[in-house]
Amino acid sequence: MEEATVTDLTLTTADAATLDVDVLVIGLHSGDDLTLAAGAEGVDAAFDGALAATLELLGASGAVGEVTRFASLGKVTAPVIAAVGLGPVPDEGEAVKTESLRRAAGSVARSSAGKESVALVLTADEEAGAALAEGALLGAYRFAGYKTGEVDPKILPVGTFTLVGAAADVERATVIASAVAKTRDWVNTPANLLRPPGFADEIAEAATAAGLDVQVLDEHALAEGGFGGILAVGNGSDAKPRLVRLAYRAPGATKHVALVGKGITFDTGGISIKPAQGMWEMKTDMGGAAAVVSTILAVAALKPNVNVTAYAALAENMLSGGSYRPGDVVTAYGGKTIEVLNTDAEGRMVLCDAIVRAGEDEPDYLYETSTLTGGQLVALGKRVSGVMGDEDECARVVAAGKRVGEGMWAMPFPEEIVKVMDSPIADTGQVAQGMDRSGHMLQAGIFLSRFIPEGLPWAHIDIAGPSGSGEAYGYIAKGATGVPVRTLLALVEEHAQA
């Protein structure tokens, strides 16, 4: 797999009007009268103070992320001027929302594909600058793909993105963007090129290079250890399952966070086979594993004062004589038995093994993420993840998501749905008895809750919709989004600072 290149990011305090770049960008606020954002004064002076009026004639509105371009006609060094919308002028004492800044910078980077150099002129402190830097790098992402022949330069990412007049931690922004890009690359990769053994090898190679401790359990080690959930799903494929454990240890750290991710590299549904329409999207069913691995890679680079252990449960859900069946009773790692009714509910089968194993590390908190249920899409749509688990941890996850711009919504565990997850012949049902679809997203969370060690604070993040996007917007490219890497990293760093 050819990895996406992360755009270079630089800072400057030079006179924007004299910058030798392909596109010079200023900020624009919406309102009854358009208002130029702070930092654009020198550029506006080069146009005799007529920029706002010119942009209004061009139809600009100042809406967040809207980009309006026109030729500079030699008024400044850059041949093209662009204005990006930042939304309304903030109230006195307030600042532009960081998510608006991320989306604005991302929109500029996306709309400037094929340009070698872009400069955004916007006075910003370190917090605002961090949002601009992150948004620019995330928005510049392009999946390398597999086309042969010469690449159309118009689709290549911006070569260098310069922030003019903004303070920002460039190294940190690059680490975060690289982690998100790594996740996007893996999720965008076709399933025939990323099967469980190969995925485990790629993870191990990246983690070893990052200085992490690495352990990979193959199908033989999984059988010897009693990882029945992963084996039930993975034994239907000739590309056998893997469980990857990565560990980061900070000297003197007093907190320990466990991360668990679902890594179904392709999901046919197994014997409960999916419809052909849309099945090609099931190459993305390993988004949770990709996210937790990329998060701990970022942790290794940023070195927060907290211990982190990540588990990626990797399997391919295929049909063969070795496939598990509806009606089977499977013994998960740790000894709990599961009555299987639907082989297409495979994600929870691999996750329960990984969760129990993660609990043996005695973490203080556990966060699990997965493209788990179609019910998440029905309930919350394509941009808001469903969060389930302990009330306090759900609230923490929602707050962290809000800080970084990843939508999260806490969901309940209603008593009536808890009851239908019981089984008459095993310790738990895999899905509701009779395969009742009511509260399907919640059923999955309830199932996972039965494998959480008693007293361990935890949360499950269902990213079935938000892990991918059918359209580009803000700093999100079409395809894999990288959700919830930035939320997970925010949670890890929050615990490091506690």
Exposed/middle/buried for residue 305 (C-beta within 10 Å: 0-12, 13-18, 19+): middle
What is the C-alpha to C-alpha distance for residues 353 and 76, in angstroms, rounded to an integer? Answer: 61
Query: How many residues does this entry show for the chain?
Result: 498
What confidence tens digit (pLDDT) does each residue in 54-79 have? 999 999 999 999 999 999 999 999 99
**Residue 93: which pLDDT band, with cuts at 50, 70 and 90?**
confident
**Residue 153: which pLDDT band, with cuts at 50, 70 and 90?**
confident
pLDDT mean across residues, the chain? 97
**What is the rounded (10 degree) CA torsion for 214, 370, 385, 487?**
0
What confidence tens digit (pLDDT) does each residue in 236-245 have? 999 999 999 9
**Residue 155: which pLDDT band, with cuts at 50, 70 and 90?**
confident
Exposed/middle/buried for residue 328 (C-beta within 10 Å: 0-12, 13-18, 19+): middle
pLDDT for 152 equals 82
| Structure-token pair, residue 253 | 């750290």
| Structure-token pair, residue 201 | 């090898």
| Known catalytic membership, residue 283 | no
The pLDDT of residue 5 is above 80:
no
Q: Does residue 258 or residue 145 have the better pLDDT? A: 258
Selected catalytic residue, list 97, 172, 274, 450 = 274
- Residue 458 phi/psi, 5-degree rounding, is -155, 165
Residue type, 268: T
pLDDT for 157 equals 93
Q: What is the mean pLDDT of residues 140-149?
A: 92
pLDDT for 2 equals 60
Write down the H helix ranges in 336-484.
Answer: 347-359, 374-380, 391-404, 415-420, 440-449
What is the C-alpha to C-alpha distance for residues 394 and 365, in angstroms, rounded to an integer? Answer: 12
Sheet holding 407-410, edge to edge: 213-217, 242-248, 307-317, 256-267, 365-370, 458-462, 384-389, 407-410
Name which of 132, 144, 138 is nearest 180 in CA terms: 138
Number of Cβ within 10 Å of residue 3's Cβ equals 14
Selected catalytic residue, list 348, 357, 396, 486 = 348
Answer whether 338's CB lies under 8 Å from 427's CB: yes
| Known catalytic membership, residue 348 | yes
pLDDT for 151 equals 82
What is the C-alpha to C-alpha distance for residues 103 and 476, in angstroms, rounded to an integer? Answer: 9
Q: What is the mean pLDDT of residues 392-402?
A: 98
What is the C-alpha to C-alpha distance for residues 203 and 190, in angstroms, rounded to an integer? Answer: 16
What confidence tens digit (pLDDT) does each residue in 434-486 have? 999 999 999 999 999 999 999 999 999 999 999 999 999 999 999 999 999 99
Number of H helices, E strands in the chain: 15, 20
pTM of the model: 0.97
